[in-house]
C-alpha cells in the first residue's frame, strides 16, 4: 500500500475538501475571495465525483475540492487518482470513521490496474491515511478485490486449472490454512464424477481445490466458487463471439477466493472452508457428450441437455460435499447464466437464497456499501423444466427463467435445512468507471463481507 498511501500529511501535502452539493454554499462563505471566484468561474457545483483544482496566489495548486454523494460511496474518491498531479495529498474535511474508511478504499481502488502484460505508466498521487480510517479494513478489501480482478483478467493460457490451484494454495499458505487438491482421475476415485467429466478433455487436468481455516469450534462458513478457467461450450460449441470473454468463467471462484482473503485477514470467528472445482471445458476425443447420463456425488443422475451448462455440473459435486458438514452458512458464486444478465444487466448480480433473513442481510449490506444485488425467486414449479425421462435431472432448463432453473438445479444437491446463498454474477465490467475499470470485477464481495462481519463478529 506504500504506492497508494502515505503515513501522514506533510507541510507540502495539498488538502482535499470533500463537500456534498448542499454543503457548498456554506463552505464557500468561509473561503477567501480568490477561491470563491475560481470555483464560480469554473462552474463547480460539487456534483458527486466532480472536482476542482484551486490555484493559490502563486499560481500553483493550493487545494482540491471534491463533490461527494450523500450515499457515501467510495467511487467519488476513485476518480481523483488518475487526474490529480503526482504528489502528496490529505483529506482536510472531517470524516467519521466509517466514511473515512470508505474514502480510503475508494482512493485505493482508483489505483487498481491490471498491468501484468504492460509497462507500468506514470507515478500516481499519494494520499495520507485519513486519521479515522480503519487501515486494516481498507487493505484487506483492496487486496481481496484486486486478487479477484487479477485472476479474472489473466488470460486462460496463463491461468488454467493448475495455475488457479497454485493461486489458491498461495492464499491458503499466507493465512496458514490447511490445503489439499484432488486432481485428475483421483476425482473419480473420491467420487467427484461431474467435475471430472467436465474437465477431462483438457490436457490441464481438472481438480478440486479445498482448504480450511479457523477454529473448528466456531460456526462453519463454506464458500464454493465456479472455477471454469475457460469455456469452449464443450461439444455443443459456443459461437466465437460468445467465447471471447470465457477467461472470466472462473469469476465465481475468483470472487470466493477474494472474499476468503478478506474473511481470514479480518480474523472472523468462523471455521472457513473454501471449495473450488477448477476445470477447462474443452473439446476432445474424451469430452463428455450431449445426452450422456452422469451419476453425481450426491447419487442423483443428470442427463446432459447441453455441454455448455457445465458450471452447474462442477458446482453440484462441490455443493454436495459442502452440505455433508451442514455449515451454518453456505455461499456459492458463479458466472452461471446469461439469463441473469438479461434479467438484471451486467452490473447487478442475482441473489438466490433458501433463507429470507440472510438474503435480506446481504441485500441491505449491498445497498449500504454501494455494492448492490437483486434477489430472484427459487420458484419451485419451474423445476418441471429440469425433468427428463432418462435421469433424475437434466442440466438444461427450458427457454425461459434460465437463472431460476439453474439455481433450482443447484439446490437439488443440498439439503432443505441448509442455509444457502447463490450468487449468479457477470464478473466483468463492460464499461470503465472510476475505481471500476473495464475487465474482471468482484461484484458482491463487499456486500458479502459486510454481511459476514455483522453476522459473526458479535
User: Which of 36, 82, 169, 238 is labelled catalytic?
Assistant: 238
What CA–CA distance (Å, rounded) separates 100 from 44?
23
CA-derived radius of gyration, the chain: 24
Nine cell digits for residue 404 = 431460476
Neighbours of 217 (CB within 10 A): 7
Question: Measuring CA to CA, which residue among 452, 213, 190, 430 is closest to residue 330?
Answer: 452
Instruction: Please indicate whether residue 149 is annotated as part of the active site.
Output: no
What CA–CA distance (Å, rounded) separates 326 from 70?
41
Nine cell digits for residue 73 = 460511496
Q: Cβ distance 395 to 313 under 8 Å? A: yes
User: Which of 14, 298, 312, 436 is labelled catalytic?
Assistant: 312
Question: Measuring CA to CA, which residue among 190, 187, 16, 153 is closest to residue 88?
Answer: 16
Instruction: Please indicate whether residue 71 is annotated as part of the active site.
Output: no
Please name every residue paired with 222 in a beta bridge, in sequence order, or none if there are none. Answer: 273, 330
Residue 201, burial from CB neighbour count under 10 angstroms (0-12, 13-18, 19+): buried
Q: Cβ distance 454 to 357 under 8 Å? A: no
DSSP state of 19: E
Residues classed as catalytic: 238, 312
Amino acid at each position: 500500500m506504500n504506492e497508494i498511501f502515505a503515513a501522514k500529511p506533510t507541510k507540502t501535502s495539498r488538502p482535499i475538501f470533500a463537500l456534498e452539493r448542499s454543503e457548498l454554499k456554506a463552505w464557500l462563505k468561509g473561503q477567501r475571495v480568490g477561491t470563491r471566484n475560481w470555483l464560480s468561474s469554473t462552474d463547480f457545483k460539487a456534483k458527486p465525483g466532480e472536482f476542482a483544482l484551486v490555484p493559490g496566489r502563486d499560481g500553483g495548486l493550493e487545494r482540491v475540492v471534491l463533490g461527494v454523494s450523500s450515499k457515501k460511496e467510495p467511487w467519488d474518491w476513485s476518480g481523483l487518482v488518475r487526474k490529480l498531479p503526482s504528489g502528496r495529498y490529505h483529506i482536510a474535511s472531517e470524516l467519521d470513521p466509517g466514511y473515512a474508511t470508505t474514502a480510503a478504499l475508494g482512493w485505493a481502488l482508483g489505483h487498481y490496474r491490471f498491468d501484468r502484460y504492460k509497462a507500468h505508466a506514470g507515478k500516481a498521487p499519494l494520499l495520507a491515511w485519513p486519521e479515522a480510517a480503519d487501515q486494516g479494513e481498507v487493505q484487506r478489501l483492496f487486496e481481496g478485490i484486486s486478487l479477484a480482478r487479477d485472476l479474472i483478467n489473466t488470460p486462460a493460457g496463463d491461468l488454467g486449472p493448475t495455475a488457479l490451484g497454485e493461486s489458491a494454495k498461495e492464499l491458503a499458505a499466507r493465512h496458514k490454512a490447511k490445503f489439499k487438491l484432488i486432481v485428475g482421475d483421483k476425482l473419480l476415485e473420491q467420487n467427484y464424477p461431474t467435475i471430472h467429466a467436465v474437465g477431462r478433455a483438457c490436457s490441464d487436468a481438472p481438480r478440486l481445490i479445498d482448504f480450511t481455516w479457523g477454529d473448528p469450534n466456531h460456526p462453519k462458513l463454506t464458500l464454493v466458487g465456479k472455477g471454469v478457467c475457460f469455456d469452449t461450450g464443450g461439444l455443443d460449441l459456443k459461437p466465437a463471439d460468445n467465447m471471447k470473454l470465457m477467461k472470466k468463467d472462473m469469476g465465481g471462484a475468483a470472487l470466493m477466493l477474494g472474499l476468503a482473503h478478506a474473511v481470514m485477514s479480518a480474523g472472523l470467528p468462523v471455521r472457513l472452508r473454501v471449495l473450488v472445482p477448477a476445470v477447462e471445458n474443452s473439446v476432445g476425443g474424451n469430452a463428455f457428450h450431449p445426452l450422456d447420463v452422469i451419476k453425481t456425488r450426491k447419487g442423483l443422475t443428470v442427463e446432459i441437455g447441453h455441454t455448455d451448462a457445465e458450471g452447474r455440473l462442477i458446482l453440484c459435486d462441490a455443493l454436495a460435499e459442502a452440505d455433508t458438514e451442514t455449515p451454518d452458512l453456505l455461499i456459492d458464486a458463479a458466472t452461471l447464466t446469461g439469463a441473469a444478465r438479461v434479467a438484471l444487466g451486467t452490473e447487478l448480480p442475482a441473489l438466490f437464497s433458501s433463507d429470507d433473513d440472510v438474503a435480506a442481510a446481504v441485500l441491505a449490506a449491498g445497498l449500504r456499501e454501494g455494492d448492490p444485488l437483486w434477489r430472484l425467486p427459487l420458484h419451485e414449479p419451474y423445476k418441471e423444466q429440469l425433468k427428463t425421462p432418462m435421469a433424475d435431472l437434466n442440466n438444461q432448463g427450458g427457454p425461459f427463467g434460465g437463472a431460476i432453473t439453474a439455481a433450482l438445479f443447484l439446490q437439488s444437491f443440498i439439503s432443505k435445512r441448509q442455509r444457502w446463498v447463490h450468487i449468479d454474477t457477470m464478473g466483468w465490467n463492460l464499461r470503465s468507471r472510476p475505481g471500476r475499470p473495464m475487465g474482471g470485477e468482484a461484484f458482491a464481495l463487499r456486500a458479502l463481507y459486510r454481511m459476514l462481519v455483522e453476522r459473526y463478529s458479535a
